Amino acid sequence: MGKLDLPGGFVDAGEGVIEGLYRELQEEIGWAPVIPEGANLCDVFTMYASFSNVYEYKNIKYNTCDMFFSVRALGLKLEDLLLEKNENTEILFLKRDEIDFNEIAFPSIRNAVKTYLKIPLT
């Protein structure tokens, strides 16, 4: 709580990774990319990194493999998004020089942001 994070979550049983990503975007920020006619979900998401993580929930530690995707969101504005109040306190759009890597919640997300921005991992 109180740290920076990216939209995401767990893939449900019987659900593919891309379908889970699409669902989590809708649940957490009230937005999902438009799928152009004749395209499918895989055409709009690009996986660019994955990192191991340990996720603690109800005093149980889960070893996870976090996967990170980019998506084109041309014209997306902050007011287009809907805050999931049970999970988030606010939604931010940050410029690269505004990112405080010490404020990112998980090492896997810190590494993913650095990879996306092509900053060496430390």
pLDDT per residue over 24-69, tens digit each?
999 999 998 888 889 888 889 999 999 999 988 899 999 999 999 9
Task: Enumerate the H helices of 13-106 as residue ranges.
Answer: 17-29
- Give the whole-angstrom CA distance, residue 119 versus residue 111: 9
Q: Between 113 and 2, whose confidence is greater?
A: 113
Does residue 12 fall inside a structural domain? no
- Give the whole-angstrom CA distance, residue 25 versus residue 7: 6
Does residue 98 fall inside a structural domain? yes
Q: pLDDT confidence of 72, banded at 50, 70, 90? A: confident
pTM of the prediction? 0.85
Provide the 3-class DSSP secondary structure of residue 22.
Answer: helix
By residue range, what is the domain housing residue 104?
17-116
Number of domains in the chain: 1
